[in-house]
Structure 1
Amino acid sequence: MTGIRLALIAMSGVVATQATALSCLAPDIADTYRAVEAAPEAYVVVKGIFDFPTPPSSATDDINAPLIIRYEASFDGIALTRNGFTAPTNLDVVVTHDCAAAWCGSLVADIDTIAFLERTATGYAITVGPCGGQAFHAPDAAMIRTVEACATGACR
């Protein structure tokens, strides 16, 4: 009886480990705005299109190995001001995909995106993690109104 109990306990640990998955809350654009506004780094909020070649593969034999994928992208669109998205901008951006085991963040080319770009000493950068939050693809009118309201101090 004790042997069976130990075997069941051991098997439940294996099953729980295999069933573990990444669990993320849906990112909220107002939360992201407030987070970057409070961050010590400088950020610019932009809306437009990223263009980049196919990013390097995230394939690895060790799903537990930390993985970071980095490449250059160009961005064409408009930057957020207190008057809304009004400042035309064309930027080179360093994109970093941060991965957690088998889950990596994603940035989509050739689709309208609101992105929160960090202004660095060498240019602009964005890090997209497995749970998202720095890039909002195909933003609807409510998302655009929300982030524009945040720029005027009326963040909900």
Structure 2
Amino acid sequence: MIRCCAPLIGLALAGPAAALSCSGAASIEANYAFAAESEVDYVIAIGRLENVGPRETIDDQGSYRQMTRLEGEILIQDGFAPGWSAEVEVTGLCYGGGCGGHSVDVETLYFLERTDAGYAFVTGGCGGLAHANPTRADMDAVLQCVRGGCD
């Protein structure tokens, strides 16, 4: 289910899915459709992460949690609004021989979970709900989905 709330686009997305194999990164449209059918609120943002806290190992397989700051743009009903900044807790999960990770200083389109504490991004060995170096076509695809025309 997709929910709008001013000024952010609220998306619903299930908790981290731990698929044991990947067939490549999901498309923006596929990630949006997944979010639309789920229950956890998400927002869509484009920007660059900067690590602002220490990396904490959270299990014996190497999964980690790290506080970051995202500087960039947030998706609102009419498009992407610049000047957005928020702390984001990143969780990189390790399972089945692969580990998730996050890149700093790389422009990325994120589906961020909106939590009681702020925002979170969970990634596994398949990359999670992020698209590095988004093109104008990627941004247009998200906007088309928000407006009800996702392919």
Instruction: State how far apart, in whole Å, the 1-side matches of 2:97 and 2:55 are.
Output: 15
Q: Using the alignment, how far apart are the partners of 1:55 and 1:134 within structure 2?
A: 23
CA distance, structure 2, for counterparts of residue 144 and residue 35 of structure 1:
17
Question: For 2:116 and 2:56, how far apart are their aligned partners in 1?
Answer: 28
Q: CA deviation at 1:98?
A: 0.9
Structure (1 or 2) with the larger CA radius of gyration: 1
Distance 1:88-1:36 versus aligned 2 partners, 3 A rule: farther
| Equivalent runs, 1:98-109 vs 2, <5 Å | 98-109=93-104
TM-score by length of 1: 0.74
1:67, CA displacement in angstroms? 3.9
CA distance in 2 between counterparts of 1:100 and 1:132 reads 13
Kept after mapping to 2: 8 A contact 1:37/1:43: no
- Tell me which amino acid in the other structure corresponds to 1:25: G
User: 1:117 — aligned with what?
Assistant: 112
1:77-126 Cα shifts (integer Å, max 9, x gaps): 11111211125311001000011233111211111110000001111101
Q: State the shift of 1:25 in Å.
A: 2.8
Describe the shift of the 1:30–1:73 C-alpha distance in structure 2 as closer, same or farther (beyond 3 A).
same
Q: Give the SS at the match of 1:118.
A: strand
For normalisation by structure 2, the TM-score amounts to: 0.76
Deviation, 1:47, is: 0.5
> 100-109 or 144-153, which moves further after superposition?
100-109
Deviation at 1:75?
0.5
Identity level (%): 30
Q: Does the CA-based 8 Å contact 2:53-2:66 persist in structure 1?
A: no
Indicate the residue corresponding to 1:35 in structure 2: 34
Measured after TM superposition, the shift of residue 68 of structure 1 is: 2.0
- C-alpha distance in 2 between matches for 1:56 and 1:102: 20
The residue correspondences of 1:89-104 to structure 2 (distance < 5 A) are: 89-104=84-99
The CA distance in 2 between the partners of 1:57 and 1:73, in whole Å, is: 12
Correspondence list, 1:43-54, <5 A: 43-52=42-51
Q: Which has the higher helix share?
A: 1
CA RMSD of aligned residues (A): 2.4
Q: Counterpart of 1:73 in 2: which secondary structure?
A: strand
